Amino acid sequence: MDLKQFLSFKPSYYKNIDYARFPNAYNAIKSYINMPKIIHIVGTNAKGSTGRFLALILRANGRKVGHYTSPHIFDFNERFWLDGKNVDDKMLQNAHEMIISCFERANAQEFISALSYFEWASLLAAWLFKDCDEVIIEAGMGGEHDATNVFSKKLSIFTPIDLDHVAMLGDSLEQIALTKLNAMSAHAILCAQNAKNPLIYNIAKSIAAKNNTKLEIANFNRANKASRTYARKYQGFLRNNFYLAYFAAKKLGANFNKQILNKMQSFDLKGRFWHIQKNLIIDVGHNEHAACALRKNLENLRKKLRVKKAILIYNCFFDKDIKAVLSTLKPCFDEILVYEYDSKERALAKDEIKKNCEILKINCRNFLYSDMQKIKNHIFEKSIKSKLKKARNFKILYVVFGSFMLANAFLRDFNGTSQK
């Protein structure tokens, strides 16, 4: 069966998960895959960008690298980055057929239909990357119970941990930190933000002591000139995520000198403070920590562009801490437009957003068809002017924030490829 058709029958979101299913499935076929030990990236935020920066550094050091991330904005292929670019449809289809063949050889065909969308994608990554020197695997929303935790690990990297996905992971920071940090391998790196939080740091130390883990705190103070030169291309959280990747790369024996700097590709992961135009930004963040990072970046950008008005284009799922996100972003925006789109598996929180905006005294209304035309007209006008001279005065800054699904829906509408 064609991979795209096969995946269309698998829901991407489950209210209840059978945590034994994927370990049993992987154990049935892992001898046919022989996947190398992975670099496992676990956390609430910054997993994708940290992983991609690490992949870029390791590849610049001459290693064959695979990077698995999720979810995607447009194409399923975005989840699988192999040796410098996303894999193509033919490679994915071949991996799909080989995984099915593995289950048939193992007489374990029942898993073909039973596994979830994310679990099947994780197996595709295992097959695609089995011949790589370095395999970087991003966990999904979890940690110890995440499908990706079945793979043997050489290193665990913990990006910032915060409240999110409370229905699945627990409704306190302690519960969430515990389930994520329980994925710790024999060698682990904790980002500086986690180390500064006494609750998270004490849990990490306790688990490390119990498992005899070598636990290190990422230290950016010794970054060399070449790495600082590359980092200056990025702002705020992206710069911090690069330095975390740089620290991890050094622990993996990689160099970062002038020669490596010259080989470094630009960051190519979509959706992370992504400038579609100077005054249109897409960010797939969706929780309070991501909102804090966005706010810091926007404070600098508004001054740089001399923006007179900033508009947030927003929607989110019901399980998010809407009030915390809006409270964080309130100083940055003059108005919030609630963008509606189809979400069959998870309920959107339009009414809850409006209710919280009223409480917080934030101007809020529905996004209208005419708003999209205004955005296009304003951006087109500025792009023409910028060809004549460098335009710095922008009347309006637009920021799309809330989820990968929101980014997908907005950009399809913006580009005239809406599937509505």
pLDDT digits (tens, 9 = 90+) for 259-284: 999 999 999 999 999 999 888 999 99
In whole angstroms, what is the distance from residue 59 CA to residue 79 CA?
17
Instruction: Give residue-wise pLDDT tens across range 364-397.
Output: 999 999 999 999 887 755 554 454 345 555 688 9
Within a 10 A sphere around the Cβ of 171, how many other Cβ atoms?
A: 10
Question: Residue ranges of the domains in the chain?
Answer: 3-263, 274-414
Considering the chain, what percentage of its residues have pLDDT values greater than 70?
93
The span from the first CA to the last CA of the chain, in angstroms, equals 26
pLDDT at 25 over 80: yes
d(CA 61, CA 264): 9
With a cut of 50, say whether residue 3 has pLDDT above it: yes
Residue 389 is predicted with a pLDDT of 46
pLDDT of 141:
82
Q: One-letter amino acid identity for 151? A: F
Q: What is the DSSP letter of 361?
A: T
For Cα atoms 156, 78, 44, give the angle at the middle one, nearest 5 degrees: 40
**Interval 397-416: pLDDT, tens:** 999 999 999 999 999 999 98
Least reliable range by pLDDT among 13-22, 70-79, 117-126, 238-247: 13-22
Three-class SS state of 364: strand
Does the pLDDT of residue 256 top 50, yes or no?
A: yes
For residue range 38-65, list pLDDT tens digits in order.
Answer: 999 999 999 999 999 999 999 999 999 9
pLDDT tens for each residue of 297-351: 898 888 788 888 999 999 999 888 899 999 999 999 999 999 999 988 788 999 9
Is the Cβ–Cβ distance between 386 and 396 less than 8 Å?
no
Q: Cα torsion for 379, 381, 386, 391, to the nearest 10°?
A: -80
Whether pLDDT at 418 is above 70: no
Tokens for 21, please give them: 């299913």
> Using 50, 70 and 90 to split pLDDT, how confident is the model at 12?
confident
pLDDT score recorded for residue 384: 42
Confidence grade of residue 203 (pLDDT, cut at 50, 70, 90): very high
Residue 16 has pLDDT above 90, yes or no: no
**Residue 164 vs residues 171, 176, 322: alpha-carbon distances, Å:** 8, 8, 11
CATH class of 274-414: alpha beta
**Confidence at residue 165, expressed as pLDDT on a 0 to 100 scale:** 63
For residue 190, pLDDT beyond 50? yes
Average pLDDT over residues 343-366: 93
The dotted CATH code for 3-263 is 3.40.1190.10
Question: Residue 218's pLDDT band (boundaries 50, 70, 90)?
Answer: very high
Which helix H or strand E contains 134, and what residues bound it?
strand 134-138
pLDDT tens digits, one per residue of 86-136: 999 999 999 999 999 999 999 999 999 999 999 999 999 999 999 999 999
Calpha distance 21→392 (Å, rounded): 54
CA-to-CA separations, 367 to 88, 278, 386, 394, in angstroms, rounded: 35, 21, 27, 21
Position 420 scores a pLDDT of 44
Give the tens place of pLDDT for each residue, 134-189.
999 999 988 899 999 999 999 999 999 987 666 667 778 999 999 999 999 999 99
Q: Which residues contact 402 (CB under 8 A, 6 or more apart)?
A: 285, 286, 314, 315, 316, 339
Sheet holding 214-217, edge to edge: 85-86, 80-82, 65-68, 134-138, 38-42, 153-158, 187-190, 214-217
Task: Determine the pLDDT at residue 390.
Answer: 52
